[in-house]
Every structure is written in C-alpha cells, then in structure tokens.
Structure 1
Amino acid sequence: MSITERLSRGFVIFDGGLGTMLHSRGLSAGVLPETWNITHPEIVTEVHREYVRSGAEVVSANTFGANRLKYGAKAGEFCLENIIRAGICCAKAAVGDTGALVALDVGPLGKVVGWPGGVGFEEAVGYFSETIRIGAEAGADFVLVETMNDIYELKAAVLAAKEACDLPVVATVVFDASGRMMSGSNPAAVVALLEGLGVAALGMNCSLGPEQMKNILPEMQKYASVPVVVQPNAGMPHLEDRKTVYDVSPAEYATHMREMARAGARGLGGCCGTTPEYIRKLVGALEGITPRPITEKKLTMISSATHALVIGEQPLLVGERINPTGKKWIKEALLAGEYSEIAEEGALQADAGADILDVNAGLPGIDEAEALKTIITELQMITKLPLQIDTSDPAAMEAALRVCCGVPLINSVSGKTESLSAILPLAKKYGGVLVGLTLDDDGIPTDVAGRLRVAEKIISEAQKHGIDPKNIVIDPLAMSVCADPDAALTTLKTVATLSASGKRTLLGISNVSFGLPMRDSLNASFFTMALFAGLSVAIVNPNSAELQKAYRAYLALSGLDENFSEYIDFAARRAAGGEAAS
C-alpha cells in the first residue's frame, strides 16, 4: 500500500530524529552523516530497525544531505550514487517484511536558490533531480522533501521529483514561531504551491517543538485538501554538560501529538531530539483516536512567495501595465533588454493598490520566453504580489511557469482545440489558476448561451486532465461597445449567470471603452456594474482614480470593508494628494 493510500485511510507513523541517534552512536561533528551508509551500515540499519520496532511505519533513509554540491568532488566509494544506494539499502534491510515504507529523504542544498551568490532555479532542479532519480532507482517507496526553509527551493525540489520519477511526494517545511518560513512564506502560500504541484501530503517539521507546531496546524488545515504531516523537534535545544538536550520529554511530546492528531494531522513523527522512545509513546497516545476526515476545501487560490489570495472572497485587482500593447516605453525597454525598469512598474502598481500583477512580454523581435523569465525573476525580488502570466505562446508560458515562485493566474486557455491541448497539460504539471476565455474555433459567441457553452467546454476538458474546476476562472470577454452597443450587457449577463452558479469570473475592464472618449468614466461605470454582477477579478490600471473610487465605494457599500476603514483611508490619501474628499 502506497503512502498516499495509507494517509487516506488513517494515521501514519513516521520515524524520529536520525542525526540525534547517529550522534549518540559516535558520529563526530564535521563528519557527513551520509558517509556512515558505507562506513557504518550496521549502525544506520540498526537505528532504522529500532524505529520500526517502536511502531514507525515510515523509515527515512540516511540521505538528507546527499546531493551533488556535497558529494560532487568525491569519487569511488563515496560518490553520490553509492551514498544514496547504500542509504536506501540500509533502510530496506531494517524494514524487511514489516510493511513499513522507505522514504528517500531529500533536504535543502545548503545554498540559496534564485538569488545572487546562490544557485539558479534550474541548477537547483538539476541537483535535486539527480538525487531523486538515484533514490527512486534504488527502491525508495516515496520521496520526502523535508526541512525546507525557502519556498523557491521547495518548488525546485518538488518539481524535480515530479520530473525525475513517478513516486508520490510528501513535502514538509520549517516555520518559525510566527508561522513564517525563512522566505517569509505563510502556511496558505505553502499549501497553495504544494497542492498546485500535486503532492500526496504536506506539512511541517523541525525548528519548533510540538506545542509551538500545534499552534500553526489549524492554519494549514484551513487551506489543505491533502493529508497534513507534523514532525516537531523534542522541544527547544539547550546545552547541558556540553551536550545538546531537548526540553520536552517523550510523555509530554506524545500528549501534544495526540492533540494534533485530534486536530486533523494524519502523518505524525519526530525530528531533532526525538528517539524511538518518543515514537513508542506517540503510538500509544494515538490509541482510540479516530482520524478526522480529510476535506476538500474548494478554494480557488493563487499565491506569491509570501502569501496566498483566495479568489471569490472579495474582488481582486490585476495591475495591467506590464504589457507592451499601447505602451511605447515598455516596447523600447523590452527591445533593449532593460527588464529592471519594467519590474519597477510592477512595484508602482503594488503601491497603487493592485493585488496581482499581469506580466506580458509579447512583442515581435524578442525572445518572449527569456523576457518573461527575467521580468518574473526581477519582480519576485522587489514585490510580494502574485502574478498573472499573460502569453499566447505555450513555450513562453511553460518557461514562465517554471520560474514563478507561487501559484499564478495562467492567462489564458480558450475553447480552441489547439489552446486546450497546449495549455491544460502545463496547468496540470505546474499548478495555477486557469483563465478560460469564452471563445472557440468558431470565434466569440455573440450571446450569453454561447459563452456559457464555451465555458463549460473548457471546464470539462480541464477535468479530463485532472484539473479541478475550482482552479478555473472564466473570462466572458469584455468587448468594445463602440463596435457593438449590446456588448457590455451580454458580458455582464454572462458574469451574473456564471457567478450565480458558483464559478469565478475575470474581465479586462478597459476593453469596453475602446474607441470612445472619457474612457476612464466608462470603464469605472462598467467596472461597478460588473462588480454587482459578481465579478471575481478585474484587470485594470490601478493608477486610475476613477476605477479606484468605484472599487473602494463598492467594497464599502457591499459590506466588504469593515467599519469603512479602507474607504476612509483611501479618501484621506486622496485628500492628502490634493483632491477634495467631500
């Protein structure tokens, strides 16, 4: 039975600290623990065996630090392949015919990913892929990506696992006491990213004791639709007689773990400072507890490195200005390769109130894929906003999806056969919320029924690829009323119908006024009408005063602005800028 099946049926007991046990058996400081797979395999195997005897159903192989950066210069006996194969061999020998599973333990690389002085994202994927491929071939039952402090490195490791093997992936991260990773990521951002990448389970390990971890668990449970794994330390470490000891006893630990099991955790084990005795006490503490059901949250989530947004809770604004269409200076910057200037535009839109940033680099004469990758990388260094990747080129879309540190809006897929076949596999592999355009091989339907039909086609085809309907936002296409006076009403009726059926919607607002004077006034009025029709996401110029007034007024009048605090703050800022607030 796979780890996925076991977690779906009930509690799964993971093992405890391996380093703790090896140090107690003589591993000296400065010695790479994984070398003991070759020099002391009998000790490594016996430690695994002790955990199995204590009740562990998962044994993590001694491969935590096994990667090319640590073992690349080593040849012969201590080459990377020998280290990993020996580690899996020790774990499998300990498991024997007990039915326990062997996890290929994959830890951080030890270098920052995606920043100057570290390793590039694709370089990191390559390092992880090599380790995972060797471990899978050696017979691991699943991949355990653990102790991740940085969400970008987390993505690199999980993506590598998906590309290097067919094994299930479980991923756990490190939070501080405030519930943030070192990269600033909160639990919602972690859940959004990992579920988008299709992990079998997710959770947290290390850094915190069980009491502190217990406080973060509800936030993970709030968003997670897959099983949650918790592997805390044995409390906080301190020195006694020059030895590191931990302040939570096996009995105390088991009491806290019992509470986390009652709260919904499915995978339970230990990390630093825990021993087979801790796992034995944990097993006893779970007796008589029925696991809580794993519930599908049905949340439409996008995310950046730091936080997630739930589409549908309140209308969200996508800043539209990183787009060469109609913007001479962006065209010139793209042609000159001056991407930092373009990224600065993203920061300005964030300051103006955008929730999400659209990124479009579609311009003849440039390498669109490289431009998107570079702009996205720059944006991720200076803003915290989730992104909308906006391209009609599938190759450019994939390049952008790989480097995006979070769950983006994927703009777009349509009902056209070519679009569906090119974009749906990318959304399934990388995760993201699809923007579905209501046009197909016959063009844009002129009536509501026709656009609804295309929307249903997109959703149906996406489901065939394993994409949940919750991860699709429908764009009924705002068209210029100058060309068709009924265009706005048709779009608004489609938004209202989709919204009434529980679907999320998106519109590019400014299209409606193309070819007419006083565009801001028309856009703001159309925007307000769309909001009251149930619009979920609007692509707008966040610097438009008229649109911002309409948006803030709508939130205030719809009960989405508690005590009118945002509206009053907005009015005060406008007044400070010289505009009358009356």
Structure 2
Amino acid sequence: MTKQEFRKRIENGPLILDGATGTMLQKAGMPIGVCPEEWILENKEVMVKLQQDYVAAGSDIVYAPTFTANRIKLEEYGLEDNIVKMNEELVALSKEAVGDKALVAGDITMTGLQLYPIGDFMFDELVEVYKEQASILAKAGVDLFVVETMMSLQECRAAVLAIQEVCDLPIMVSLTYNEDGRTLYGTDPATATVVLQSLGIDAIGINCSTGPEEMITPVVKMTEYATIPVFAKPNAGLPELEDGVTVYKTTPEEFAAVGKKLVEAGAAILGGCCGTTPEHIRALKEAVTGMPVKEPLKVPRRVLASERKLVEIKLDGNFMVIGERINPTGKKKLQAELKEGSLNMVRSMAVEQEENGAAILDINMGMNGIDEKEMMKKVIYEVTSTVDCPLCIDSSHVDIIEEALRIYPGRALINSISLEKEKFEKLLPIAKRYGAMFILLPLSDEGLPKDSAEKHEIIRTILAEAIRIGMSKEDIIVDGLVATIGADPEAARACFETFSYCKNELELPTVCGLSNISFGLPERIYVNTAFLTMSVANGLTMAIANPSQELLMNAAFASDLLLHKEESDIRYIERMNFLSEKYAGMERQMVPTQKTAKKAESAGDTTTSVEHSSVFEAVLKGNKSIILDEVKKCLDAGEKPGEIINQHLIPAINEVGVLFDKQKYFLPQLISSANTMKQAIEYLEPMLAGDDSGKEMPTLVIATVEGDIHDIGKNLVVLMLKNYGYRVIDLGKDVPADLIVDTAIKEGAALIGLSALMTTTMMRMKDVVELAKEKGCTSKIIVGGAAITPSFADEIGADGYSKDAADCVKLVEKLLA
C-alpha cells in the first residue's frame, strides 16, 4: 500500500485498528514467561481466531503478532537464529486470518536496551537491529508498519529510519506516556509529533498508557501540531485486582462512548490496547462510523525540538537568540580542552547559555587537531543530556552535518545551506531526509551577491528547490548576510531591506550573525546593540549571538516590549527579575565596555555556585569527567569519606530528585547524575572501613518479576539505592517468585523491591507477597513500574508503592526508619 492510499482510506471516516493481543492470549492459555511469538506459532489457531474476530468486529487494520520478534528480544529466549522464519510465519498467519478484509501491519516495538549516552548501545546498532526485522516483514508482505508502545523518542527515530531504508510502506508510530503527560525520557506528545512527522511518518499516536478518557488531552495536543493523521489505542481502563485476577472494567459501551470523544478531539484512527476485546472493537466501530474526521494541519508550524522541548518560530513572535558560544573559533581555552577530549567547558557553556535566555544552541566543532565528526557527535550527546534547548548543527562539511542529524534525538536546524553547488545539491536532500529546518544563506559559487536584488534572487531559487523536493517554506530561516559597516556604509540598511522583504513578501523568518556588523570598530557592543534593535523593528526574527551579553539581550527584550509582541511585557519583567536574582548582593556593571566584556570573556567560560561545593555541582550537572578530581580535593582538604558522602553527594542527589519531581529534570539527567555519584561512591567505598562516619546499611533485594523482561526502571532504582549506601542485590529481570523470596531470607534482606512494566505480568508481584508470607519472610515488600498503582499495591498486600526511582529512595528510607 502506498502512503497516498493510506491517507485516502481515512477520508471516509475513522479507520479502526484491532484490540488487545497479549491479554487475550493469556485468557486463551498463554503462560507467563514464554516467548509470545513462539507460543503463537505453537498455537496458531488461537491467533487466527482472535484476528478473525477483530476483523468481523470491524477492524480495518490488524497488527501482525511480531511485537517483540527483533533480534535483541529473541536472544533472551535463545531464538535469535529463527528471526526470519518466525517473522515470516507470523505475518503469514495474520494474512491468512484477514484475507482481503483488512490490512496487516508489521508490528515493531522497543528492544529494552538503553541507547548511548544513557546506556552502551549505539544508535546505528539499533537501526541495524530494526532494519533486519523490517526487511523481513516487508518481504513477507505486510501492508504497512506500526512502531508501538515506545518510551524513547530516539528509539522511535531508529525504527523509522530503519523502515525507510528498506521500503516505502506507510509508517504509524505510537508512544506510551506517564501520568505527567511525558514518556519515561521526558518527551511530551506535541514534541513527539513534531519530530516524527518531520521524519516522514504517516500517522502519530498514543497507545497503552491509560484508558480512553485520559487520552483525549494528549490527542488534542498532537493535533495542534500534526500535519498527519493522529491515532489512539487505549486500554480498557486501568487494570484492577479482583479475586486475585487483573481485570479491566471499562465496558465496550463505555469504551465506544469515549471513542466518539477521541474522534471529536482529532483522532482519525482508533483501536484498543490491553484489556480490549472484539466486543470493544465492535462497539467502537458502530459508535464512530460516519463521524467526520478532523483534517490535519495543511500548513505546518515552524518548530524545532529537542527530545524534551519545543521551540516555535513565529514571524511576529518574540525575538530569539541562537547561542553561539559552543564554537572553538577564537577560544584557545576551549580548543585546548577539546584536544584533550574534555567537554567540561562545552557543558558549562550549554548550561550558561540556556540559563541566560538562548532558545537554540549552535554547535560548531571546526578546528585543527581533532576529528571534527567524532567530536561533533560527542558534543551532541553531551549537550542533549545536559540542557533542553534544540540544537543548530554548524559545519562546513556535508558529511558531518548528516552524521549529526542522524543521531540527534529531535528536530535540528542546519547552519546553513547556500546556492554553492556542494551544499545546494547535497544538503537539501539531507535536510529533507532527517526532517531538519535550515538556515538559507544567500551565497552562490560566485561569492557574495553584488546587491539586494541578487541576494533576493538566490533566496527565491533555494526556496523553490526546497519546495520542489517536498519541503515547505516553513522549514526555512533566511540569513540576512550581514556585512561589515566599516567596509560598506550601506551594510546595515541592506540587511534591513532583506529582513523586511523576507517577512512581508516571502513570509519567511530571518536570522543573522550580529557581531559581523561592527568588525574593526571600537566598543563594538554599542554598534551591535543598535543594529539589533533596528533589525528587530525591520522584521528580524532571531540572531546568532552570545546570550551572556546582557546589553544585547536586554535590548532585545525591550524591543519586543516596544513592538507590543505577545506577552512581551511579562517576558521583560521576568527577564529583569532573573537578573535581579542573579546579581543579588553583587555589584553589577549594567553597560560593559569592550574592555570589560573581554575581561569577563577570558575569565568566565564556566558558571560557579557560591552555595554548593564542586562535588555537589558535579553530581547535580551529571559531570562524570570531574567528579573524582573534586572528591580528591575534598579528601586533601581533610574531609572524611563518610562526610563527603553525607554532606555533598547525598544532598546533591536529593536535589536531583527534587528537580525530577518538578519535571525540570527527566530520565537522562537523573541517570547522568546517578552515574556521576556512583563513580564517587565506588572511589570512596574502600576508604569507609577506617572511617568512623561510615555505617552498615540494610540489605535490599531488587528484581523485575517473572515474565517481564523490562528493566530500565529497575536498573535506575538499583543505581540510586546503591548511591545512598544500601547493600543492593540485583536479581535482574524475569525472576521467579521463589528465587526472590529465598534470596531475601538467605541474605537477611530488610526489603524486597519488585518492578513490572506490563499489565500482563503485574500479578506476579502478588505471587511474591503471598510466597513471602508462606515462607515467613519478614522483608518489607515495595512495588513499582508503569502499570502499577498505589491501589494495586494495597490490594496485593505490599508495604509500599513508588512512582519512580527518586520516590523509591524516599519510600525505602521511610519504611526502614
């Protein structure tokens, strides 16, 4: 099926997907702990009957049962060598079941491995894993692909790129979100929509997670940005425990009633996840048949995105700054650090620029003495783990820009694409391939345009080619090409003309490098600031500048205020409040001269805190490269190992937990800080034996329950608890109840921690609780995981529930106090 045919099928009303597979197979007798795909192939009639029932109920698309049939998952059962045969047979099974009455989607999901820099698995390795399965499924004859139940936006990107590299079939992608409206990695539905549709997928959605009512808000958020159909595949409510069995109490009629609301909210494709049955799908089909489908946006919004944040660029919006600092040109100290392989200054520059108001960060690694491509990749990994700003990829080499775009877990900006043959012919298709926006630089192989007319002609030429290859003008920001006023007295006025022309005639946003205008002049900051305010008045949208230059930034905020831009008054006041807090109790020079600006530049490439130690700051920022040096300084100053742990490390990780609770930090930052602390703890541990401040801590046994092979959350819990000094025995994943209880008794564990991601495995927690009572195990038992709720913990007799790793530490402390 072509992408056009897929879109056309939705025009006559909502498409209906199938319902639950896992919970239905368990009802039919599939035991916990087996490979689902292998069990299906051993019990083919069960799967055929189920999918026939879904088609009879009204499903237009059924998912082939290839959910975890990738090499990584099959290795856990020793079945990786059967990957081709299993996927082929599973697709054939679905095609036999539906005949010509429905489409068959090749079903792909997460591998369970953590990508670098959180884990050790590299992005292109993951792409290859997905390519292997996608290639088999495409050859087996699937009509389209669905990438579902995803928690990581970067893993979604890997799956999408893999599918696109083996075929042209339509791709649907759905993520699963926590109660806070974000994935485990901090991505919200709008951000996922922007990033994935820019890659060229054909429908974006949400599945599992919650019941149908709770999906209305995320669907609305997706439709605000979606240029493609939106879909929802909810559970039949949240699971509840009844007579020792997990049940879903949302009836088919209730499910269908909310299905209508989902269509009204903008969902063009609907189905069911855990707990739904053919009866739910039948009721849903009857309820929404004939309902008009909301059309996606015809004109895309100009949006860049990191993994955790959107930045929208509006023609009449507030002025924005692209932070220019992460560029070694003219920065000897940064060059020296990069040559040594250190990214301390890069990290500090990223944080400082974000704190000072940069909306986007430019990343340029062009210098001698390093491998620019490898350093660009390292810096992207480091910066995306440190701050939330989207990135602008800046290099004179096409291959470096392409490699950076491939691994970037968001929607980036390219700096830049000109009419020079190399960039024009190669970079435009790359921008399209990876869904990037780009800065249009009005240069050609002939060099600088001789006048405004030639400059505008180049702009129109590049714009026309971008549209021809399938991009839109909303993907483009035009560089005003600032010349030096000392050499060309008309330089500023020529830029004003370009800014105005792009905004008013072409409806394109503009950008420029401010400092070029004042090159060779004394006290350049005044020329730059005057140029900025006049440019903003003439339509300039953003500038590449140093956000630490307060005169420039304050002038930009004031310019927006005077032009009566949206919420500019509030933004100006907040800016002044920010500066007041920043300089509280300090003498501050409001208008720096060139001399003082240079002095500050040479002295301050990093920000320091007067309130916390360097050890505290290293953990807070997840700075693994300096933590041991800072710990050694504390030891040299006479501090005892136990004091360092209790007075620096523990307070720091507590603060990380607070930021995590406030949604200022997300999983990547939490893991980075925890790993930084782990390095310090491991270094200090051998010294604790002779340290009076050290004390023996309780033993804890942690495991993911039998049948569940997901361990991201469990691993983080283990890491955090070890950092707090507990003796933690990690039994791993898919652990039988008797092994958990026997280990707790043998080791004298004060507490057992149980994790489960899937609703189909959560009942194994009850098995552990009951077995512990039966064997007289006195360990406290706590539970957690995506499917678990406080009420479930109470129902099975657990001693406590934690929503995440940071919360788990507090719970353990409370229970063992």
TM over 0.5: yes
2:450 maps to which residue? 446
For residues 164-206 of structure 1, the C-alpha deviation after alignment (integer angstroms, 9 at most, x for no partner) is 3221111111122332111111222111111110001111111
2:487 maps to which residue? 483
Query: Structure 1 residue 362 and structure 2 residue 334: aligned?
Result: no
2:23 maps to which residue? 20
CA–CA separation in structure 1 for the residues paired with 2:44 and 2:535: 66
1:330 maps to which residue? 334
Counterpart of 2:474 (choices 470, 473, 476) is: 470
2:735 maps to which residue? none
CA–CA separation in structure 2 for the residues paired with 1:363 and 1:246: 60
1:38 maps to which residue? 41
For residues 226-260 of structure 1, the C-alpha deviation after alignment (integer angstroms, 9 at most, x for no partner) is 10011111111111122111131110110011111
Query: Structure 1 residue 6 and structure 2 residue 6: aligned?
Result: no
Counterpart of 1:555 (choices 555, 560, 564) is: 560
Counterpart of 1:509 (choices 496, 507, 514) is: 514
SS at match of 1:438: strand
CA–CA separation in structure 1 for the residues paired with 2:579 and 2:232: 47
Alignment of 1:172-191 (within 5 A): 172-191=174-193
Query: Structure 1 residue 287 and structure 2 residue 289: aligned?
Result: yes
Asked if the contact 1:4/1:168 (under 8 Å) is kept, the reply is: no
Q: Which has the larger radius of gyration?
A: 2
SS at match of 1:266: strand
Among the aligned pairs, what percent are the same residue? 38
Asked if the contact 2:223/2:296 (under 8 Å) is kept, the reply is: no
Once the two structures are TM-superposed, the CA of residue 558 in structure 1 deviates from its matched residue by 2.6
1:221 maps to which residue? 223
SS at match of 1:357: strand
CA–CA separation in structure 1 for the residues paired with 2:492 and 2:422: 28
| CA RMSD after TM alignment | 1.8
What letter corresponds to residue 235 of structure 2 in structure 1?
A: N
Alignment of 1:332-347 (within 5 A): 332-347=336-351
SS at match of 2:392: strand
Once the two structures are TM-superposed, the CA of residue 329 in structure 1 deviates from its matched residue by 1.6
2:658 maps to which residue? none
Counterpart of 1:141 (choices 140, 143, 146) is: 143
Query: Structure 1 residue 522 and structure 2 residue 524: aligned?
Result: no
2:463 maps to which residue? 459
Query: Structure 1 residue 270 and structure 2 residue 275: aligned?
Result: no
CA–CA separation in structure 2 for the residues paired with 1:62 and 1:111: 21
CA–CA separation in structure 1 for the residues paired with 2:117 and 2:580: 40
Counterpart of 1:113 (choices 112, 115, 134) is: 115
Structure 2 spans left out of the alignment, 5+ residues: 592-817
1:101 maps to which residue? 103
Asked if the contact 1:231/1:268 (under 8 Å) is kept, the reply is: yes
CA–CA separation in structure 1 for the residues paired with 2:571 and 2:289: 50
2:600 maps to which residue? none
CA–CA separation in structure 2 for the residues paired with 1:237 and 1:71: 28
Asked if the contact 1:561/1:567 (under 8 Å) is kept, the reply is: no
Query: Closer, same or farther in 2 for the Cα pair 1:212/1:75, shift >3 Å?
Result: closer
Asked if the contact 1:574/1:580 (under 8 Å) is kept, the reply is: no
CA–CA separation in structure 1 for the residues paired with 2:457 and 2:356: 37
CA–CA separation in structure 2 for the residues paired with 1:237 and 1:46: 25
Once the two structures are TM-superposed, the CA of residue 291 in structure 1 deviates from its matched residue by 1.7
Query: Structure 1 residue 411 and structure 2 residue 415: aligned?
Result: yes
Query: Closer, same or farther in 2 for the Cα pair 1:8/1:507, shift >3 Å?
Result: farther
Query: Structure 1 residue 240 and structure 2 residue 242: aligned?
Result: yes
CA–CA separation in structure 2 for the residues paired with 1:280 and 1:68: 35
Query: Structure 1 residue 531 and structure 2 residue 536: aligned?
Result: yes
Once the two structures are TM-superposed, the CA of residue 563 in structure 1 deviates from its matched residue by 7.6
For residues 334-361 of structure 1, the C-alpha deviation after alignment (integer angstroms, 9 at most, x for no partner) is 2222234323211111111111100000
1:160 maps to which residue? 162
Asked if the contact 1:571/1:581 (under 8 Å) is kept, the reply is: no
Query: Closer, same or farther in 2 for the Cα pair 1:78/1:255, shift >3 Å?
Result: farther
After superposing the two structures, state which structure 1 stretch, 462-471 or 21-30, moved more: 462-471
CA–CA separation in structure 1 for the residues paired with 2:492 and 2:363: 26
Asked if the contact 1:188/1:307 (under 8 Å) is kept, the reply is: no
After superposing the two structures, state which structure 1 stretch, 20-29 or 160-169, moved more: 160-169
For residues 289-327 of structure 1, the C-alpha deviation after alignment (integer angstroms, 9 at most, x for no partner) is 122223314311100011211111322211000111111
SS at match of 2:409: coil
1:79 maps to which residue? 82
Counterpart of 1:569 (choices 561, 568, 574) is: 574
CA–CA separation in structure 1 for the residues paired with 2:115 and 2:323: 27
Asked if the contact 1:478/1:509 (under 8 Å) is kept, the reply is: yes
After superposing the two structures, state which structure 1 stretch, 215-224 or 160-169, moved more: 160-169
Query: Closer, same or farther in 2 for the Cα pair 1:160/1:564, shift >3 Å?
Result: same
2:323 maps to which residue? 319
Structure 1 spans left out of the alignment, 5+ residues: none
Counterpart of 2:399 (choices 391, 395, 408) is: 395
Once the two structures are TM-superposed, the CA of residue 38 in structure 1 deviates from its matched residue by 2.1
Asked if the contact 1:451/1:476 (under 8 Å) is kept, the reply is: no
CA–CA separation in structure 1 for the residues paired with 2:175 and 2:83: 24
Asked if the contact 1:37/1:86 (under 8 Å) is kept, the reply is: no
Once the two structures are TM-superposed, the CA of residue 21 in structure 1 deviates from its matched residue by 1.1
CA–CA separation in structure 2 for the residues paired with 1:458 and 1:362: 25
What letter corresponds to residue 25 of structure 2 in structure 1?
A: L
What letter corresponds to residue 26 of structure 1 in structure 2?
A: G
What letter corresponds to residue 564 of structure 1 in structure 2?
A: D
Query: Structure 1 residue 150 and structure 2 residue 183: aligned?
Result: no
Query: Structure 1 residue 303 and structure 2 residue 305: aligned?
Result: yes
CA–CA separation in structure 1 for the residues paired with 2:97 and 2:30: 19
What letter corresponds to residue 408 of structure 1 in structure 2?
A: A
CA–CA separation in structure 2 for the residues paired with 1:340 and 1:126: 32
For residues 12-55 of structure 1, the C-alpha deviation after alignment (integer angstroms, 9 at most, x for no partner) is 11101111111111011111211123211221121111111111
Which 4+ runs in 1 deviate beyond 4 A?
A: 73-78
Asked if the contact 2:360/2:389 (under 8 Å) is kept, the reply is: yes
Q: How many pairs align?
A: 581
Query: Structure 1 residue 169 and structure 2 residue 171: aligned?
Result: yes
CA–CA separation in structure 2 for the residues paired with 1:570 and 1:556: 12
SS at match of 2:443: coil
CA–CA separation in structure 2 for the residues paired with 1:47 and 1:252: 22
TM-score for both structures, normalised by structure 1: 0.96
Asked if the contact 1:479/1:487 (under 8 Å) is kept, the reply is: yes
Asked if the contact 2:478/2:508 (under 8 Å) is kept, the reply is: yes
